[in-house]
Amino acid sequence: MQNGPTAVIVAIFADVVIAGFKFTAAFFSRSSALFSEGIHSVADIGNGLLLLLGIRQSRRPPDEEHPFGHGKELYFWTLVIAMLVFAGGGTISIAEGVSRLRHPLPLEHSIWNYAVLMISAICEGYSLRIAHREFRKSIGEEDDLWSAIRRSKDPSNFTVLFEDTAALLGILIAFIGTLLAQLLGNSAFDAVASICIGLMLLLAAILLANETRGLLTGEAVRGSTVRRICEIVQGDPAVERARTPMTMYLGPDSVLLALDIQFRPTLSAIEVTQAVDRIENAVRSRFPRIKHIFIEAEAITAVARAPENRAPDRVAAQRAEPNR
């Protein structure tokens, strides 16, 4: 389920404080890596604000133009975060590093760098702890965190994990670059660190965009869920045969399900209706995220029976939960 934006808000406040420290330290020390880290923090602030906007937009109720709701707004804004903020920040960081390689400047007052990097690591570590806690709360305890991220359909949870993990890696890269530049007396290491931070941001953008792409283009629920739905449908005594269910995520907490079922030909129209209700209730009780169910019911053969009891050759039935 989609949680409140606690982790997002904590991350924004942490990044605002950290960005101020990083730019101040970069000004005094002339560190390219620390300047890139400042850009990284500004990018993370933009990420958080856009993510809050996406959460708010996705929670709007259905309307005439969007009868299934606005859940995919969150996926759209997450893609914007990946392409504009992460990729933009990465490009600027790489450009800054290349510029410093071409026009090197000696590092000064490196103690500023170490102090700010230590403060940043503490703040980002706390933010990552909150994000990890919120993510675990949403998906349950999983042994494999990466698999849990791949299975998650709520970008408001895993985007902050991406941000904070990338931030801690960026701090480590900046620390190594500053240390080598100081010990070896060569500021090129600081510039290379800036380039590495930019490349890491580009990689984060690619990973986040890839995770969001499938959801934005109509990703289905995972195979194990489809198999359990098949078991529910085919286990009903009224069902003769059923095709593989078709599903699509409409948002983190909303799934569309389409079923094509062939009921037993001897059933009356009333019995078909009862079977449809039975199947829908069973599916919804097992999978609360399935908000909209469309069932296309078909009798395999025409059997002589009273017209008032005859099931139609093809009946289209739709059930959807009332808008909340």
- CATH of residue 264's domain is 3.30.70.1350
For the chain, how many structural domains are there in total? Answer: 2
Whether residues 43 and 167 fall in one domain = yes
- Which residues span the domain enclosing 281? 223-320
Burial class of residue 210 in the structure, from the number of CB atoms within 10 Å of its CB (0-12 exposed, 13-18 middle, 19+ buried): exposed
Amino acid identity for residue 266 in this structure: T
Contact 51, 181 (CB under 8 A): no
Confidence class of residue 139 from pLDDT cuts 50, 70 and 90? low
pLDDT higher than threshold 80 for residue 262: yes
Q: Could you tell me which residue, 250 or 150, shows the higher pLDDT?
A: 250
Q: Above pLDDT 70, what percent of the chain?
A: 86
Q: Which of the residue ranges 20-24, 128-132, 316-320 would you say has the lowest mean pLDDT?
A: 316-320
Whether residues 68 and 111 fall in one domain = yes
User: Whole-number mean pLDDT of the chain?
Assistant: 82
Q: Is residue 103 part of a domain?
A: yes
Q: Is residue 210 part of a domain?
A: yes
pLDDT higher than threshold 80 for residue 135: no
Q: Which of the residue ranges 132-141, 165-174, 271-280 would you say has the lowest mean pLDDT?
A: 132-141
Question: Which among 216, 238, 257 is the end of a domain?
Answer: 216
Whether residues 129 and 241 fall in one domain = no
Q: Is residue 180 part of a domain?
A: yes
Whether residues 161 and 240 fall in one domain = no
pLDDT higher than threshold 90 for residue 195: yes
Picking from 70, 79, 77, the residue whose alpha carbon sits closest to that of residue 253 is 70
Q: Is residue 182 part of a domain?
A: yes
Q: What mean pLDDT comes out for the span 187-192?
A: 90
Whether residues 47 and 175 fall in one domain = yes
Q: What mean pLDDT comes out for the span 127-138?
A: 76
Q: Is residue 177 part of a domain?
A: yes
Whether residues 62 and 178 fall in one domain = yes
The CATH number of residue 85's host domain is 1.20.1510.10
Contact 92, 273 (CB under 8 A): no
pLDDT higher than threshold 70 for residue 304: no
Q: Is residue 315 part of a domain?
A: yes
Q: What mean pLDDT comes out for the span 265-287?
A: 92
Top mean-pLDDT range of 4-18, 26-40, 136-150, 182-196: 182-196
Whether residues 58 and 24 fall in one domain = yes
Q: Could you tell me which residue, 302 or 16, shows the higher pLDDT?
A: 16
Burial class of residue 170 in the structure, from the number of CB atoms within 10 Å of its CB (0-12 exposed, 13-18 middle, 19+ buried): buried
Distance separating alpha carbons of residues 242 and 206, to the nearest angstrom = 39
Strands, DSSP E only, in 47-197? none
Q: Is residue 1 part of a domain?
A: no
Question: Which among 184, 216, 248 is the end of a domain?
Answer: 216
Contact 160, 7 (CB under 8 A): yes
Whether residues 157 and 239 fall in one domain = no
Confidence class of residue 42 from pLDDT cuts 50, 70 and 90? confident
pLDDT digits (tens, 9 = 90+) for 206-261: 888 888 888 888 888 888 899 999 999 999 999 999 999 999 999 888 999 999 99
Distance separating alpha carbons of residues 19 and 302, to the nearest angstrom = 72
Whether residues 236 and 155 fall in one domain = no
Whether residues 228 and 205 fall in one domain = no
Whether residues 70 and 206 fall in one domain = yes
Q: What mean pLDDT comes out for the span 116-142?
A: 77
Confidence class of residue 141 from pLDDT cuts 50, 70 and 90? low
User: Torsion over CA of 85, 2, 260 and 226, rounded to 10 degrees?
Assistant: 90
Which CA distances in Å does 74 have to 4, 90, 144, 250, 315? Answer: 13, 23, 25, 10, 35
Confidence class of residue 127 from pLDDT cuts 50, 70 and 90? confident
Question: Which among 216, 232, 250 is the end of a domain?
Answer: 216
pLDDT higher than threshold 50 for residue 300: no
The DSSP 8-state label assigned to residue 141 in this structure reads: -
Residue 183, helix vs strand vs coil: helix
Confidence class of residue 140 from pLDDT cuts 50, 70 and 90? low
E strand or H helix at 294, and its extent?
A: strand 290-299
Q: Is residue 111 part of a domain?
A: yes
Which pLDDT does position 148 carry in this prediction? 67
Helix/strand/coil percentages in the chain, nearest 5: 65, 10, 25
Whether residues 22 and 47 fall in one domain = yes
Which pLDDT does position 323 carry in this prediction? 45
Confidence class of residue 310 from pLDDT cuts 50, 70 and 90? very low
This model's pTM is above 0.75: no
Contact 203, 62 (CB under 8 A): no
